[in-house]
Chain A
Amino acid sequence: MMETLSALTGLMAPAQLAFPEEVAGSVLAPYLLVSASMFVIGLIGFLTRKNMIIMFLCTELMFQAAGLALIAFGRHHLGADGQTFVIFVLCVAAAEAAMALALVVLLFRHRETLGASAWKELNG
């Protein structure tokens, strides 16, 4: 393995030279545990809190939980896909955050409250 790597050294770009080794299954598990914990905390927060900003933060938490899992798996499989994907997710999340916070501001202006239940009449 090392011989192969050193044989390839001449051909590889410097960034790829620094590419770490694959993590073992036993190392992967804690990452996933953290990710799952974050997701569940986010979910519970979303379900139980009424403040729209807090609920929005909880969705961000769930987002990042998914991102963490993606990176962990990416590292596990030695692929760049996971990290690439997370960069996209971050971009989307940033755009979404701008949108969502703007919406919350608008909603607040209408009802003078941040409670989600203030918009209950938007039913079928």
Chain B
Amino acid sequence: MMTASLINTLSAPLAMAPESQGPAAHLEHLVSHVGTGPGWVLLIPFLPLLGCALCGIYAFTGVKSKLPAWTTVGLLAIAFIATLSMFMGYDGEPYTVQAFEWFNLHYGERSFIANFSFFIDKLTILWMLFVTGLATLIALYASEYMAHDQGMGYCRFFAAFNLFVFSMACLVMGDNLIMLYLGWEGVGLCSYLLIGYFYKKPDAVAAAKKAFIVNRIGDLGLALGIYLTFVHFGTVQYAELFSSDKLHGYISAAAVGDFSMIPSQAQWIALLMMIGAFGKSAQFPLYVWLPDAMEGPTPVSALIHAATMVTAGVYLIARMYPVFLVSEHALPTVAWIGTITAVLAATIGMAQFDIKRIMAYSTVSQLGYMFAGLGLLTTTGAAFHVLTHAFFKALLFLACGAVMHGFAGQLDLRKLSGVAWMKGWGIVGVTMLVGCMNLAGLPYITSGFYSKDMILAEAFITPGYAVIGWILVATAILTAYYTFRVYFRVFVGPQHAEPGDEYHEELAEERVKAEHEEEDHGHHHFHPHAPGWAINAVLIVLAVASMLAIALAYIDKAEHYGWVGSMVAESTASFHSPYAAEAHHAHVDHVAPHAVAGPVGTAAPGTVFGMDAHNAMILISGIGAIVGVLIAAFLHGPKGWQGLFLGNRERADTTRMDAVARRAGPLPRWAENKWFVDEFYHAVLVTPLRVISHIFHWIDKLLIDGLVNIFGFLPRVFAWIIRPSQSGVLQGYAVSMAGGLAVILFVVLVFVVRAGGGA
């Protein structure tokens, strides 16, 4: 929980706004001249939509070839090129491109306008670059990975894949919150469809439903946040929202730390949107769906559940950063939730045996870093980590996917060893090593190091957040450990492989081969099939891209802390804590801080052990990463140089860790069981809901249906009583008519006589 002091630390940096330019001046400048952009920008969202339609047509016409994959790769590549030219042609002024008019309602003084149009600024471009780029590469990878399912399933996969890219484009490029919500729900739908791709597998179906339902909880928050935005600011369009005087007034108030001036309605917007971000980006209370989402095909895990969709929460907060700044509790909460998520997921990841799940928990953990970065006022750090993480985590997932594909679904690290030494697996081994080094954050030689360092340094610079800093450093050690645990066990050491549970499908052809090679092998043996050119090519490209991303840290370093900083600086997410500016000032001599809150007045530069925070962080996190790797080598590494001369593993399934785990008591088992969070949710939420729904089921059946049935039954009872009077005897009817007439006459006569008696 937050304490008052932590809240104050947030308001403090804002308090140092310069007199010359208001705190919102930068924002004002950014969104005051929103022009109209070139129409070809529309290609970026609509080409994937075309791809989706084409794949649907292929499905109905029964295409059995790899045509859907090549269509997807081609269209996404064009979309990527369009994004690149959008990046090249950007001249510093944000612009909008309208596809068509969507909502345009006017009532009284107010209006509700949300067009199907796209808002392009540098944040959008940054996100779209890696979304379309990675989508192209992963589609190429999937063309080979999904080849066993060619036909209907292949079309279905690529249709959903394209729809995902379209939705993601709507989410990121939309010029209003309604577009963002459309994309948000769209990616949720595609995530559901693709997790449940193997719909005959009960686990996959359950995981898909879990992901969908947990995301709905977050989406409710986002929907309410958008609603409240409209109620309070009267608009859902970014350009209008960020240039509204109301918001600028709030930012000015927040800059002097006076949150009492800001109505709580405005402060709630950020808190509600935050819940949406937690759901989509798998943060602490709502993270449980992401590890289960690994039931989907690996390309999906790589693209949707590691690189792009799960960063939508980070994007939301970055895009709405001015709104988050005016909320007293939102950003501290984001920082703490991110930190808790990072450490919790890392501890779970340490104890898992399924390599894809380890990567999933690692994703949750790294997303925690990004949220901590956002909460610590370094949108640049968060965005940089999003970018580097997108590349190296996609790489890791795809390398794990190649292993899974080649070893008939085997993912258990106790049953695989020395994969890198097997014939045809060299590229996977090397690229996996690159990915692992990036995730572990080995100093200077990996891009993951620079982005993580930026967030860690920020934690130490910002007063009151050193606790977060230390927790994140500890998590970095854990990260290095669990990452290299996978590498040392699966990719190096003595060669050993047991096929996974998809083995039986290949059994028949395997037997034939075994009989053929009987003389050579003696008995029939499992043959993994090495990845083909598409998988290898994508892995190499991603590995190279991960390494090249190091350069981004040095481009424009002096002014904006790297290329990503320069991208963020020209967007609504632009904000740097003055502490960072000051510390940076000490680090780099010539500095021109470009912060919303402006340059710094009196704040002391953040120091750790008497050193400049950035330098100290390079030291601490660098040493931490190396220590983590060494621990992994000692506990899991094979004998000899492959285990850095520390390990003693000789078989796939026995390591020093076993002895350590025995001594550690129940802790490793608890961690393997994910700290029983799922069980806790099951007991506290799922079971009561199930009981309540059973109760309501019977109420519905007995009370509601009962009432309706009674009203249906009553006329039947009445009819049953009077039915005998219709006897079929004609004279009977006549008698009753005559009798009735007589009664009426009698009554009338009595009445007339009474009335007439007086007259």
Contacts and interface: CB of A to CB of B under 8 A. Distances in A.
Contact of B728 (A43, A47, A120): A120
Contacts of B725: 124
A123 interface: yes
Contact of B738 (A43, A116, A123): A43
A43 B731 CA distance: 11
A88 B726 CA distance: 32
Contacts of A121: 728
Given A43-B738, A47-B738, A124 B731 contact: no
Contacts of A120: 727-729
B723 interface: yes
A123 B726 CA distance: 5
A86 to B, nearest CB: 21
Nearest to A49: B731
Interface in B720-736: 723-731, 734-735
B734 to A, nearest CB: 5
Contacts of B723: 124
Nearest to B735: A47
Interface in A95-124: 116-117, 119-124
Contact of A124 (B726, B730, B734, B735): B726
A73 interface: no
B725 to A, nearest CB: 7
Contacts of B731: 46-48, 116
A68 interface: no
A122 B726 CA distance: 8
A55 interface: yes
Which residue of A48, A119, A122, A124 has the most chain B CB atoms within 10 A of its CB atom?
Answer: A124
Contacts of B738: 43, 47
A77 to B, nearest CB: 19
A44 B391 CA distance: 106
Nearest to A117: B729
Which residue of B725, B728, B735, B738 has the most chain A CB atoms within 10 A of its CB atom?
Answer: B728
Contacts of B729: 116-117, 120
A91 to B, nearest CB: 24
A46 B741 CA distance: 15
Interface string B212-229: 000000000000000000
B734 A47 contact: yes
A6 to B, nearest CB: 38
B749 to A, nearest CB: 14
B447 to A, nearest CB: 90
Interface of B is mostly: helix
B647 to A, nearest CB: 95
Interface in A30-56: 43, 46-48, 55
Which residue of B723, B731, B738 has the most chain A CB atoms within 10 A of its CB atom?
Answer: B731
A18 B735 CA distance: 44
Interface residues of A, number: 13
Interface string A5-24: 00000000000000000000
Interface in B697-747: 723-731, 734-735, 738
Nearest to A44: B738
Nearest to B729: A120
Nearest to B727: A123
A65 B549 CA distance: 113
Contacts of A43: 738
A26 B723 CA distance: 48
Contacts of B734: 46-47
A17 to B, nearest CB: 38
Contacts of A119: 728, 730
A59 to B, nearest CB: 10
A45 to B, nearest CB: 10
A96 B725 CA distance: 27
A122 B728 contact: yes
A120 B728 CA distance: 4
B744 to A, nearest CB: 15
Contacts of B728: 119-123
A116 B730 contact: yes
A116 B727 CA distance: 12
Contacts of A124: 723-727
Contacts of A55: 730
A79 to B, nearest CB: 22
Interface in A47-82: 47-48, 55
Contacts of B727: 120, 123-124
A123 B722 CA distance: 12
A117 B734 CA distance: 13
Nearest to A122: B728
A119 B730 CA distance: 9
A74 B728 CA distance: 39
A58 to B, nearest CB: 10
Which residue of A55, A116, A122, A123 has the most chain B CB atoms within 10 A of its CB atom?
Answer: A123
B718 to A, nearest CB: 13
Contacts of A116: 729-731
A116 B729 CA distance: 7
A16 to B, nearest CB: 34
B732 to A, nearest CB: 10
A38 to B, nearest CB: 15
Nearest to B730: A116
A124 B719 CA distance: 10
Nearest to A119: B728
Contacts of B730: 55, 116-117, 119
A119 B733 CA distance: 13
A43 B727 CA distance: 20
A4 to B, nearest CB: 31
Nearest to A120: B728
B341 to A, nearest CB: 75
A57 to B, nearest CB: 14
Contacts of B724: 124
Nearest to A124: B726
Contacts of A123: 726-728
22 contacts: A43-B738, A46-B731, A46-B734, A47-B734, A47-B735, A47-B738, A48-B731, A55-B730, A116-B730, A116-B731, A117-B729, A117-B730, A119-B730, A120-B727, A120-B729, A121-B728, A122-B728, A123-B728, A124-B724, A124-B725, A124-B726, A124-B727
| Leading 3 A-B pairs by shortest Cβ distance | A123-B728, A124-B726, A124-B723
Interface of A: 43, 46-48, 55, 116-117, 119-124
Interface of B: 723-731, 734-735, 738
Given A47-B734, A119-B728, 7 more contacts: A46-B734, A116-B729, A116-B730, A117-B729, A117-B730, A124-B723, A124-B726
